[in-house]
Amino acid sequence: VSTQSTWGYYFDIKMDSIASKAGGLLGSSGGTAIASKVVPNESAFPSLSWSTRIMGFAICAGLGIVLQILSTIFGFLLNFTACGVCSALGIILMLGASIFLVGPMRQLKMMFDQKRIFATIGLLVCVILTLIMAFAVKKGILVLIFTIIGWAAYTWYCLSYIPFARDLVIKCFTSCCTSSQPQYLLCLN
């Protein structure tokens, strides 16, 4: 038995264990029951096991994070074209990672849901403008500006999946900007 197949077997057992525990929290039993609730058969890769889909998600998201780190490094090195390209590709990879889990159609439905449609459109516009500024206009400062706005738009998009996260961020910024008292944790009041 190879190390690869042993590791894969161990990973599948752990994922089934996690899924069954989560299923107990959600009122279902067994790993397949939770996987069918979380991941309907409309996944982009229906023949892949749940653990393989998780690995695909992790690899895409990890590559996206690596590209974001490279983007930051290129920004400090004043290579703004590479900064913009790495940032745009990183955001696209991080957005696309969840296709492994929920499938392309459900991902699009979630992206263009009423509560996150503006964040999605802003994010996509920033990615497109970053690439235009990097390749066509070739103005480093504009690439940097749209890269930073793209990061902010991606953060705002991600916060839309966490209940009350956007409200908390708005409350923090509002209380920090309107308060005359220099307190560090005004947003938690």
Residue 39's pLDDT is 46
Which pTM does this prediction carry? Answer: 0.68
Q: How confident is the model at residue 47 (pLDDT cuts 50, 70, 90)?
A: confident
pLDDT, tens digit, 9 for 90 and up, residues 81-104: 999 999 999 999 999 998 888 888
133 contacts 84 by C-beta, under 8 angstroms: yes
Residues 71 and 78: their CA atoms lie apart, in Å, by: 10
Task: Please report the sign of the dihedral spanned by the C-alpha atoms of residue 87, residue 72, residue 120, residue 55.
Answer: positive
Measured in degrees and rounded to the nearest 5, phi and psi for residue 91 equal: -65, -40
What would you report as the CA-atom Rg of the chain, rounded to the nearest whole angstrom? 20
H-only helix segments in the chain: 3-26, 31-38, 50-76, 80-96, 99-102, 104-111, 117-132, 140-159, 165-178
What mean pLDDT do residues 10-24 have?
A: 53
Task: Please report the sign of the dihedral spanned by the C-alpha atoms of residue 17, residue 22, residue 27, residue 31.
Answer: negative
Position of tokens 């089934």? 16
